[in-house]
Chains A and B, each alone.
Chain A
């Protein structure tokens, strides 16, 4: 699960995602990007923060794979990539929710199998 990168500490993807989400400024940036791509200047506008401070937050989000730079050389807009969020949600909902749901369905499948057997 841990991907090594030369010259950097090893960070697994889920840890990077949860770290990125553990800051209100970064969550606000993600909420803004959920409405569509935006330039760094647009992203910085609602915050009482310097451009470099916003860029540092964006770097954390990019490292987690949550934000990508779109290919527009002029504005260099940032865009949301929601896939790590889906992975994190899947992890957090966890084993118990998975098996509760599966066994609930298995109750129905077994009832159908019993019926199939008696009508055969």
Chain B
């Protein structure tokens, strides 16, 4: 386990082929951080979508097997929904859930673990993807290889049109 980053900075790590681990320390006690993540009164205040989008819908059924759904909206642009199911709920230390944008996107399993020390809380969010390709696409690191493959397929497609 790496040491926690200082307040105000976020640490990103890829300890294996499928996951991304995002670590951040907050100047707040653990129960407040847990509430910020799991209470629909607080989530829309910080769980940002793309710039300029708001979250008018935030439904959270915070229990094992309970469903959640967030909807971001921007006038004239449309809306994007993300949803899933809570796998484990252990306030105020841990919560785990599934998450997906829609049927075309890979479903991830997410786990949030909160540890408090001296009034500060370190949060460790682990996002686990179904495949390495999906994980790398999310990070953007798979971009070059993915594009080369896509170009080869598109060359075939464009060639077929000539």
In the complex, B81 has a CB within 8 A of chain A: no
A94-B140, A113-B35 in contact; A102/B48 too (CB < 8 A)?
yes
Our pick among B10, B20, B162 for the contact of A56 (Cβ within 8 Å) is B162
Assess whether B146 is in contact with A15, with CB atoms less than 8 Å apart: yes
Per-residue CB contact flags for chain A residues 28-63 toward chain B (1 = under 8 Å, else 0) read 000000000000000000000000000010011001
- Within 8 Å CB of A73, what residues of B? none
Q: Which of B24, B32, B138, B150 contacts A15 (CB 8 A)?
A: B150
Query: From B74, which residue of chain A is reached at the shortest CB distance?
Result: A86
Hey, which chain A residues are within 8 Å of B27, CB to CB? 107, 110-111
Interface range, A side:
35 or more
Provide the residues of chain B in CB contact with A56, threshold 8 Å: 158, 161-162
In the complex formed, the residue of A with least CB distance to B155 is A19
B1-34: which have CB < 8 Å to A?
Answer: 7-8, 10, 12, 20, 22, 24, 26-28, 32-33
Residues of chain B in range 98-156 having any CB-CB distance to chain A below 8 Å? 104-105, 138-140, 143, 146-147, 150-151, 153-154, 156
Q: Which residues of B contact A (CB under 8 A)?
A: 7-8, 10, 12, 20, 22, 24, 26-28, 32-33, 35-36, 42, 45-48, 50, 77, 104-105, 138-140, 143, 146-147, 150-151, 153-154, 156-158, 160-162
